[in-house]
Amino acid sequence: MKYLPLSIIALFTGLALAGCNTTSSPASPSPTTPPVSEGEPKQATSNEAYVFGWGNLPANIADPRGGTTTGTPVTFPKPRELPLASIVSATNSFKKDRAAILSLSGDYKASFHFLETMGLFSEHKPVRPYHSWTTEQVRILEDSGNFISLQHTLVMYFHEEDGSVMGPMVMKHWRQDWTYEDTDLHTFRGSGTWERETRPPESVKGAWSQAVWQVDDSPRYEAIGRWTHEGNRSVWTGENSWRPLPRREYSVRDDYSVMEGFHRIAITPTGWVHEQNNWKRVTGDASKAKDYRGHELGIDRYELITSPSLAAADVYWSMTGPYWAAVRTAWNAVYAKRDRFALETKYENRSQFEYHFEYAGKLDAGESWNPEAGAQFARDTIESFLSDQTSSSRY
């Protein structure tokens, strides 16, 4: 197993719900496609390509930006019958919800697709879609009934130009925590800031919150939503929420600062699909006038695989799991005592993920785990990035 060096990890820090960020050059604008009259569709020329929702665009705009690496072949199992047997056998809605959430675990090839569907300013031009991929394990980190934690871990094999295979390359990825009838949330409020949101018990009856965490276990966003199980369809739909910009956006855009929208998770015969419906909001303060730059749709597909083996993730967690548990404990303490906090992007010219991944990397390499020292390092690292002032942090 090869642990990713920090120089490579830097390419992946914006992965949460966004894909593998070996990004290509920034999207460049092009003239708006002229309208097409009704009747026969306009045929693409050799310099154009069709883009869903836009029609024919210049080929350099239609070509997606994003992942540029080539992975090894994967093997898919036979598609499952829906509804899943575990959902059918559940005796009430709570148990059906739990079965659906637990079914998100497994080994997957994931693909990430994002398309800006419109602009809301006069100078707007179509920009390149985004596409990338990963192979990753989703493991059940904790299940205490009303709380389920699912940890994503990248395990990737790459084809080299000389025909050889590099890998497995292993990296801790994002985490999703599910809490039943959650009344105590910390939601993103823009400007690198998160704030406690207390919900009345009656407003979350039968609902689940989904909290999403960055690769270094710092917060990303949290939203309340509800599962519905109708026939062969099991779907969780979240309420409207705010999210920080993912790396795929802030690496090429600086004209807006908040993703505002809802997302949906649906169980499929081959795994699950995560849909996003995002407005690109300029202002990072709910008290200011609303101003939007545009809108995007996202589809993330998680397709179950039987090969290649992603067991290298198990080895990684056997070595580093105690440290990451200490990081989660440290964050729980922050949430318990702070109603509002901001996060800085750098401390002593280093990102938060660099400190955590460097410490975990030593354990992965065989260094002995010291519970007291590890817990203190986790607390000190997080405290170094906490602020009471708003920030312009980027992840």
Band of pLDDT at residue 68, cut at 50, 70 and 90: confident
Give the predicted TM-score (pTM) of the model.
Answer: 0.89
Examine the pLDDT at 15 and tell me if it is beyond 60. no
Q: What is the chain's mean pLDDT, rounded?
A: 89
**CA nearest neighbour of 27 among 123, 104, 127, 116:** 127
Examine the pLDDT at 27 and tell me if it is beyond 60. no
Model pLDDT, residue 25: 30
A 10 A CB-CB count for 268 gives 16
- Residues present in the chain in total: 395
- The one-letter code for the residue type at 22 is T
Q: Highest-confidence range of 160-164, 240-244, 286-290, 386-390, by mean pLDDT? A: 240-244
122 near 296, Cβ under 8 Å? no
Q: Any idea what the Cα angle at residue 122 is, between residues 117 and 128, rounded to 5°?
A: 35
Of 3-7, 121-125, 235-239, the poorest mean pLDDT is in: 3-7
Mean pLDDT, rounded, for 277-303 = 91
Band of pLDDT at residue 70, cut at 50, 70 and 90: confident
What kind and span of H or E run contains 93?
helix 93-102
d(CA 154, CA 135): 6
User: Which single residue is written with the structure tokens 């069709």?
Assistant: 50
Reduced to 3 states (helix: H, G, I; strand: E, B; else coil), residue 24 is coil
Question: What backbone phi and psi angles, to 5 degrees, belong to 133?
Answer: -150, 160
d(CA 363, CA 125): 48
Model pLDDT, residue 34: 33
Band of pLDDT at residue 43, cut at 50, 70 and 90: low
Question: Any idea where the domains of the chain sit in the sequence?
Answer: 2-18+70-304, 312-387
Band of pLDDT at residue 390, cut at 50, 70 and 90: confident
Strands 65-66 and 130-143 turn out to be parallel
**Interval 94-104: pLDDT, tens:** 999 999 999 99
> Cα separations (Å) of 247 from 20, 295, 352?
10, 17, 15
Examine the pLDDT at 30 and tell me if it is beyond 60. no
Examine the pLDDT at 1 and tell me if it is beyond 50. no
d(CA 70, CA 144): 39
Model pLDDT, residue 26: 30
Model pLDDT, residue 286: 67
**Interval 117-166: pLDDT, tens:** 999 999 999 999 999 999 999 999 999 999 999 999 999 999 888 888 89
Buried-state track 61-93, b at ≥16 Cβ within 10 A, e below 16 = bbebbbbeeebeebeeeeeeeebbeebeebeee
173 near 15, Cβ under 8 Å? yes
Model pLDDT, residue 393: 63
Q: Where are the alpha helices (DSSP H) in the chain?
A: 6-9, 59-62, 85-88, 93-102, 247-250, 312-337, 352-364, 371-385
